[in-house]
Amino acid sequence: MSATRITGSTSDFLPDLRLGFENLRAHKLRSLLTMLGMIFGVAAVVAMLSIGAGAQQEVMAFIEQLGVRNLIVEAREAPDQQALQRIRKLSAGLSFKDFRMIQANLEGITAHSPRKRFTPSKLLPKPQGDAPMVYGVTPGYVPIANLHVVSGRFFDDAETEGAAPVAVLGEAAAAAFFGAEEAIGRYVKVNDQWFQVIGIAGPQLTVQNDVGGLPAQDRNNLVYVPLYSAIFRLEDGQTRQKDEIDGIYLQMQPGADITAGAALLRGLLNVAHREAGDFSIVSPAALLAEQRRTQRIFEMVMVAIASISLLVGGIGIMNIMLASVMERTREIGVRRAIGARRKDVIRQFLTETTIISLAGGILGIAVGVGLSQAIGELAGWSTIVTTSSIVLAFVVSVSIGLIFGLYPAVRASRLDPVTALHYE
C-alpha cells in the first residue's frame, strides 16, 4: 500500500514539474527577470558573509597568536608635552619598579619580559620598503609571543644582562636588509650601533588596524635586540623623556583565572601610577571572547541587510505569479473542468515558484562566490566562503520563494471553473 501511495504521489508530481518547466521556458525573459531578485539576494548574503568571515578570522587568529594565557601592559603615550607634564606630576610612567612589583604580587606567572621599543633614525644596510622597528626584550618574550626562530638562535639571559650587540631579525626585516642573501653572521647598524645578526624569526600573523589597545604593527618587520642593549646602546635624549619601559608581557600558568589576574594587575598599576591613566592592559582571552560576540552580531546584521534583497525577490515572484494566474485563467478553468482538484492547482503553481527559487538560489550562490573572490583579489581583503553561509542563503531563498508563491497558488485554486472557462 505504501508503494502505491509513493507511486501515486510521484505520478502527480512529475507532470506538474514538466508543466512548470514548460511554462517557464515559454516565458524565458519573464522567468529570468523573476529570478534576478533571488540571484542578487543570495549573492549578497554569500558575499557579505564571506567578507565578514574573512575579516573576523584574520583578527581572531591574530588574537589567538597573542596567547589566551597572556597579559600585556602597554604604556600610553601622551599626545603632547603639556599632557606629558601633567601625567608626570602623578606618575613616572611604566618602569622596572612596576615590573618588580607585578612579579612580587601577581601569582601564576610562568614567563615575563619587559619591552623597550624604538623607531630607529638610521639603518644600515638601507632597508628596502618600510624601516623595521626595534624591540628590546628578554628571552622570556619567545614563549609569550609564540616566536619561532627558523634560522640561527635567539639571544640568551647572559647576552641580555651583558647588553650584547646581537640581534634577531623578523622575516620581513631580514628580507628588507639582505634580500635573498644569508643574514646570519651579518651586521646591521641601528642609529650608531652595530648589531650582529644571530637569528631569523619565522612568520607571524599581523593586522592592519589597532586591536584592543595594541597598536598596528607589522610583527614580521621587527629587529629584536637584548633589552639592556636597547636601553644602554640606543636610548637618546628624546627617548629618555618617555617611560623607562613601554611594555610588559606576562604569561600565566595553565588554568589561571585570566580575568581576575587582569583586574589585580590593573589595580596594582592604578595605585602605583596614582590613577594617571598612562597605561592600558590587554587581555587576549577577553579580546577573543569579545571578538566572537562581535562576529555573531555582525553575521546577524549582514544577514538581515542582505535578506532585504531576498524579500524584494520574493515580492517580485508574487507579482509575476499573480500576473501569471490572470493570464492563465482559462487554462486553470480547463484543468478544473476535467477533474483537477484545488490542491492540484496549488501544487502546479508552487512547483513553478520552487523551480524559480531553486534556480535563483543556485545561480546566486555561484555569483556570490565569484563576487567574494573578485573583492578579495581587487581589494586585497581576506574572504572565506563558508558552508553555513551557502546553506543559509539557499534555504532562505527557497523559503521566501515558497512563502510568496503560496498566495498566488491559493488564489488560482479558488477560481470558479465556470467563470474561468468564460474568461477572455
What is the pLDDT at residue 267?
A: 94
Is residue 32 a contact partner of residue 26, using CB atoms and an 8 Å limit?
Answer: no
Q: Is the pLDDT of residue 116 over 90?
A: yes
What span, in angstroms and rounded, lies between the C-alpha atoms of 45 and 307? 7
pLDDT above 80 for 159 = yes
Structural domain spans, the chain:
15-62+290-421, 77-108+253-277, 114-252
Dihedral of CA 164/169/173/175: which sign?
A: positive
**85 pLDDT more than 60:** yes
Contact between residue 55 and residue 261 where contact means Cβ atoms under 8 Å apart: no
What local confidence, expressed as pLDDT, does residue 166 receive? Answer: 97
- pLDDT over 90, % of the chain: 31
Least confident piece of the model among 96-105, 137-146, 182-191, 303-312: 303-312
pLDDT band at 314 (very low <50, low <70, confident <90, very high): confident
pTM of the predicted structure, to 2 decimals: 0.67
DSSP β-bridge partners for residue 112: 250
3-state secondary structure of 368: helix
Which of 251, 375, 382, 400 has its CA nearest to residue 314? 400
Q: Is the pLDDT of residue 39 over 70?
A: yes
Query: Among candidates 197, 95, 92, 209, which has minimal Cα distance to 152?
Result: 197
Does 230 score more than 90 pLDDT?
yes
On the question of pLDDT at 124 being above 80, the answer is yes
Angle between helices 329-337 and 342-379 in degrees, nearest 10: 140
Q: Is the pLDDT of residue 187 over 90?
A: yes
CA distances from 220 to 198, 200, 225 (A): 16, 10, 14
Per residue in 271-292, pLDDT (tens digit) is 999 888 889 998 888 877 777 7
- Report the pLDDT value the prediction gives residue 212, as an integer from 0 to 100: 58
Residue 8 pLDDT level (bands cut at 50, 70, 90): very low
Checking if the pLDDT of 156 tops 70, the result is yes
